[in-house]
Structure 1
Amino acid sequence: MATFEELRSIAMALPQTTQVEGDPLFLVAGKQFVWTWRERVHPKKTKVPRPEVLAVRVPDQQDKAALISSDPTVFFTESHYDGYPIVLVRLPQIGLPALTEVVQDSWRCVAPPELTGTA
């Protein structure tokens, strides 16, 4: 079981990462790579933040499908993210090594090439 503090420690260790105050929303170069999932509970009302569920970027649809099929108790999606390389992660269900890997991979998806060493 991973905690918000562990998530924060992993994310903030990555170069040029910032956090939006009071929210698990992490940015690199102004682009979000980890954020709180907001669930549409009622069609005509504002989405409800679910801090125990994170949205993270993945490289592509194949990676998204592989994560979901690897452990659907941890990784899932919803119709809002259909067609997008974003997977939802249940924070209380994920182990620390897996959380570290998905956060680092998500950061690499949006970080400028000069930060990732691919420039």
Structure 2
Amino acid sequence: MADADDVRRLALALPQVVEIDSDGFDFRVADKGFVWSYPERRPGKPRTIRTDIAVLYVGDEAEKQALLLGEPETFFTTPGYDGLPLVMLRLTRVDAERLAELVTDAWRMRAPESVAAEVDDRFG
């Protein structure tokens, strides 16, 4: 079972990652977000930062749909994310190894190619 501290540890271990000041967690590489806390919005209520849910960059709609359809208990989306290559991940539904794979994959898709090439395959 993963949590926000696991996300923080994994993200900060990757090259050229910057943590953006926020009420939860927010990580970028080359000024591009790859994992951050889910800003839950409910009608008529202020936004709530959910650190038990991570928003992950997944690259494209095909990957997004594969995750949503393949593991609906782990991944979900909301209408506000329609058309965007992002999924929400319930952190309590993944272990540290799977989280490492997901965070590293999101980072690789956003990092400059020269930086991504420097990373070894320790996360899969």
TM-score by length of 2: 0.85
- Cα distance per residue 1:8-48 (max 9 Å; x no partner): 11111111112124531011112111111111112x44322
3-state DSSP of counterpart to 2:108: helix
Which residue pairs with 1:85 in the alignment? 85
3-state DSSP of counterpart to 1:27: strand
The amino acid that maps onto 1:71 is E
Which residue pairs with 1:95 in the alignment? 95
The amino acid that maps onto 2:100 is T
Within 1, Cα distance between the matches of 2:69 and 2:82? 15
Aligned ranges 1:1-119 → 2 under 5 Å: 1-21=1-21, 23-42=24-43, 44-117=44-117
Residue-pair matches, total: 117
Within 2, Cα distance between the matches of 1:68 and 1:94? 14
TM-score by length of 1: 0.89
- Cα distance per residue 1:68-118 (max 9 Å; x no partner): 122111111111111110010011111222211110111112111211129
3-state DSSP of counterpart to 1:108: helix
Q: Which runs of 4 or more aligned residues in structure 1 lie more than 6 Å from their structure 2 counterparts after TM superposition?
A: none
The runs of 5 or more residues in structure 1 that have no matched partner are none
Within 1, Cα distance between the matches of 2:108 and 2:61? 16
